[in-house]
Amino acid sequence: MPTVNVKVTVATTVTGAGKAISISVDKDPVDISNQSTDVEVAVEWELVNSQGWDFVHTHQGIKIHAPAAKFKNNGSMSNWQKHGCVRNKKQKDGNDYKYTISVTDGTTTATWDPWMRN
């Protein structure tokens, strides 16, 4: 099964008003449209350079906003530092889907909504 890897970085900046949290990815959109429709395609997100941050502990660290038949959620792996999903066979459609990244430092939860091209 082909795998597309996505690096996720969480940065925290302390300001006079509290803390500002930013989430970024090295691929936006995550493009799996060039993969064959005849095979499942794995997408794995990994937190890098994000000391103290995990994907949320509810197995919803990544939630793709697409029809349920398109993707299956494999949940978090590697002590909440990775999260995986799989595009199911025959579900390539060329559409763009928003997905939500949810991370936590144990006190604060932050989210961001980048794109995936199917």
Looking at the predicted structure, is the pLDDT value of residue 96 above 90? yes
82/17 Cα distance (integer angstroms):
31
**Mean pLDDT of the residues in the chain:** 94
HSE-CB at 64 with a 13 A cutoff on CA atoms is 28
Entry pTM: 0.93
CATH architecture of the domain covering 3-117: Sandwich (2.60)
pLDDT in tens, 38-76: 999 999 999 999 999 999 988 789 999 999 999 999 988
Structural domain spans, the chain: 3-117
* Residue 54 CA neighbour count, 13 Å, CB half: 14
Distance, in Å, from the CA atom of 96 to the CA atom of 110, rounded to the nearest integer, reads 23
Structure tokens at 86: 């799989």
Residue 77: is its pLDDT beyond 90? no
- 22-46 pLDDT, tens per residue? 999 999 999 999 999 999 999 999 9
Contact between residue 23 and residue 9 where contact means Cβ atoms under 8 Å apart: yes
Band of the pLDDT at 99, cuts 50, 70, 90?
very high
Asked if omega into 114 is within 30° of 0 (cis), the reply is no
Mean pLDDT, residues 14-22: 87
